[in-house]
Amino acid sequence: PYYVDMDQNLYLQASLHSSDQNLKLFVDTCVASPNSSDFRTLVYELTKSGCAVDSTYSPYPPPRSDVARFGFNAFSFVNRFPRVFLRCELLVCRYQDYSSRCYQGCARRFKRSADS
């Protein structure tokens, strides 16, 4: 466990361990939950499809393409839950493959009208 105070900035880093140096790591979706085994019932979205959902979420420039860095302000699920667990989905793409999902950034999906 990592202990932080409310509203304290929390910084995270993920790194890819591979002998292939031509890979890029991208943070796609991160959610928080008060339950380490249930990330569907009560969740708080930090990012979704590469888009920041939480206003305090901020990506940071990584030292290498196989590293992803981001931060956000610590929060709690009301006062009933003493812990918050994170689950992040990261994408691995070829470095400098600008057509890959890693280089598209925020991918907002728009719903189409079902009228016609």
Owner of token pair 């901020």: 58
Q: Where are the domains of the chain?
A: 9-94
pLDDT, position 45:
95
Full-model pTM: 0.84
Answer CATH for 9-94 from 2.40.50.140, 2.60.40.4100, 2.40.110.10, 2.60.120.10: 2.60.40.4100
Burial class, 30, CB count within 10 angstroms (exposed 0-12 / middle 13-18 / buried 19+): buried
From first to last of its 116 residues, what are the pLDDT tens digits of the chain? 888 888 899 999 999 999 999 999 999 999 999 999 999 999 999 999 999 999 999 999 999 999 999 999 988 876 788 889 999 999 999 999 999 999 999 987 644 555 54
* Separation CA 109–CA 93 (nearest Å): 21
Residue 99 token pair = 């057509």
* Separation CA 51–CA 104 (nearest Å): 11
